[in-house]
Every structure is written in structure tokens, then in C-alpha cells.
């Protein structure tokens, strides 16, 4: 059975409906991106699934406005992780998804941002595949897109960046640190996830790898949300700026000349930019 979302902005006679079609399938796990936090950036498909699912397994970085869309009768399971405090082991999350689906429930696995961007989705897909559980992936707006949009800049631009890389700053992969020489390019935008505690190391490593001291850097915390805050500086002065004006987690690190476009962008959300004086 189809459902509809009605526009409440236009006069009653001119209101139009957005068709939402489909129903959750029993025994299926939907890996859904909750987006960057702004409930209005949630996809229509994600909203429909939240309103229909029998059970929702959700992460820490999911806002209350999004959780409010969950059907009142649905089972809820919080499996959030924070740095240094993993409340539920990843293997247990996979096992729970399998158990719920095998019980004949339709299950939404709700992840902040996009489930396929540093969201451990591959591990959960592997658990479902091993148990022969059907899965469906619903993408969400990743933090990098939300941060760039709220700051009024593109992630790629013909005059600034012809390449874009998402990098996890956790440095936990085999082989240790990233290939800084390969990352130190002037024709691309770098976005570091989960790197707030590593800002100084990132800036120093990129400088040592060849990027100039005055290369633009931007930090954006709580992207797209009312409490969004940001710092704009350079590889040389950003560590001191952050020390003087700490930002909360989650926070993205954007490195590249596209950052220079914030100053002249008509789409920049200036209220969230923390004004600082360059350290001496």
C-alpha cells in the first residue's frame, strides 16, 4: 500500500502530495543512512522505512527528530559507539540483526550519515550473508556533503579540486599511517573523518609531505545541525586555533583550496563560524 507526504507550505487547494510506495518486508534488514542530523535531509525512503519497520537498531549519531519517525509500536535497540567506549561489540550487533530477521521481523539498521562511509556496513552485510538474510541498502547524506553545503562550498571544483578523498583518521588499518605523500596534492579535497584528536598530526604530516604552510583547512562540528560550529585556518595555524577554540565531536577536517571559497560564498552559514585571531 502506498503512503503520501503532504506539503504544508502551499495553500490548501494547491497542496501536492509526494507518493511513498512500498512496505517493509518481513525477514529483511534495511541498512539505512540517517543523514547528517538535520531531519529534513533524511530521504523519503528512510522516513517510510522508519514508520513501517518492526524493529530499529540505531547508532549514537542519530538525532531525536529522526528517531521520532519510528513507529510507536516498533522495538528499539540502541547500539551506539563513542570513542573509547563501544557499548555493543560489532559481532553482537550483527548477531542481533540476524536474530530479529530470523524471527520474521522487518528490521531497520539506522546509521548516522551514509551507511557505506566508515559505517562498518561491510561487517554487518557479512553477518547477514552468512545467515542468508536478505538486505537492502538505503544511502544517506554523508557528513562531508552536509558540512560543505552548510559552509557554502563545493567539495569539487574545476578551479580548485578535480579529486575528492574521504580518509578515516583512525589510522587503524594494516600498515599504520596513510601515505601522506600521496595525500599532499593541490588538485584535490581531503576530508578526514573521526580526526578531531589528530588535527595537529594531520596538519604536520601534510606540511612535511609538501603542502604549503598556508594551505586552507576547515573544521566543521555537528554539520547541518543548529549547534554547528566551524574553524577556518591553515595547516600551520589550525592546531593553535583549535586549542584556543575547542570544537565538539563529531567533527570533520576539510583540507583543500575549496575552503577559500567560504569567504565569498552566498550560501555560507556564517552564524556557525567561530571568529578567531591568528595565533602569533
Report how far residue 152's alpha carbon sits from residue 264's, in angstroms, rounded to the nearest whole number: 9
Angle between helices 90-102 and 121-130 (to 10 degrees): 40
Q: Which of 38, 54, 59, 114 is catalytic?
A: 59
| Cell representation of residue 180 | 601522506
Active site residue 59: yes
DSSP-based three-state secondary structure for 218: strand
Buried b (16+ CB within 10 A) or exposed e, 218-233: bbbbbbbbeebbbbbb
Please list, in sequence order, all residues whose beta carbon lies within 8 angstroms of the beta carbon of residue 71, skipping any fewer than 6 positions away: 50, 51, 52, 53
Element (H, E) at 126: helix 121-130
Active site residue 157: no
Element (H, E) at 102: helix 90-102
Q: Name the phi and psi angles at 218, rounded to 5.
A: -135, 135
Could you please report the per-residue DSSP string of 168-195? Answer: ETT--STTSS--HHHH--SSEEEEEES-
Give me the active site residues, please: 59, 81
Amino acid at each position: 500500500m502506498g503512503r503520501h507526504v503532504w506539503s504544508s507550505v502551499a495553500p490548501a487547494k494547491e497542496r501536492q502530495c509526494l507518493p511513498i510506495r512500498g512496505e517493509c518486508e518481513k525477514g529483511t534488514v534495511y541498512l539505512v543512512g540517517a543523514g547528517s542530523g538535520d531531519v529534513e535531509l533524511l530521504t523519503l525512503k528512510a522516513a517510510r522505512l522508519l514508520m513501517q519497520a518492526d524493529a530499529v537498531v540505531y547508532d549514537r549519531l542519530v538525532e531525536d527528530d529522526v528517531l521520532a519517525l519510528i513507529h510507536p509500536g516498533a522495538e528499539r535497540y540502541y547500539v551506539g559507539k563513542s570513542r573509547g567506549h563501544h557499548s555493543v561489540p560489532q559481532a553482537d550487533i550483527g548477531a542481533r540483526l540476524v536474530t530479529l530477521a530470523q524471527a520474521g521481523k522487518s528490521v531497520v539498521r539506522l546509521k548516522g550519515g551514509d551507511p557505506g562511509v566508515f559505517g562498518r556496513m561491510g561487517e554487518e552485510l557479512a553477518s547477514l550473508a552468512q545467515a542468508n538474510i536478505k538486505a537492502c541498502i538505503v544511502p544517506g547524506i554523508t557528513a562531508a556533503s552536509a558540512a560543505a553545503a552548510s559552509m557554502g562550498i563545493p567539495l569539487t571544483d574545476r578551479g580548485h579540486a578535480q579529486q575528492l578523498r574521504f580518509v578515516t583518521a583512525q589510522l587503524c588499518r594494516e600498515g599504520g599511517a596513510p601515505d601522506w605523500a600521496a595525500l599532499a596534492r593541490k588538485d584535490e579535497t581531503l576530508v578526514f573523518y573521526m580526526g578531531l584528536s589528530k588535527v595537529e598530526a594531520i596538519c604536520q604530516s601534510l606540511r612535511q609531505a609538501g603542502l604549503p604552510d598556508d594551505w586552507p583547512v576547515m573544521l566543521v562540528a555537528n554539520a547541518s545541525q543548529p549547534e554547528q560550529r566551524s574553524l577556518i585556518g591553515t595547516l600551520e595555524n589550525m592546531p593553535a586555533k583549535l586549542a584556543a577554540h575547542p570544537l565538539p565531536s563529531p567533527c570533520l577536517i576539510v583540507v583543500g583550496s575549496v575552503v577559500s571559497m567560504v569567504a565569498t560564498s552566498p550560501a555560507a552559514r556564517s552564524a556557525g563560524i567561530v571568529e578567531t585571531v591568528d595565533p602569533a
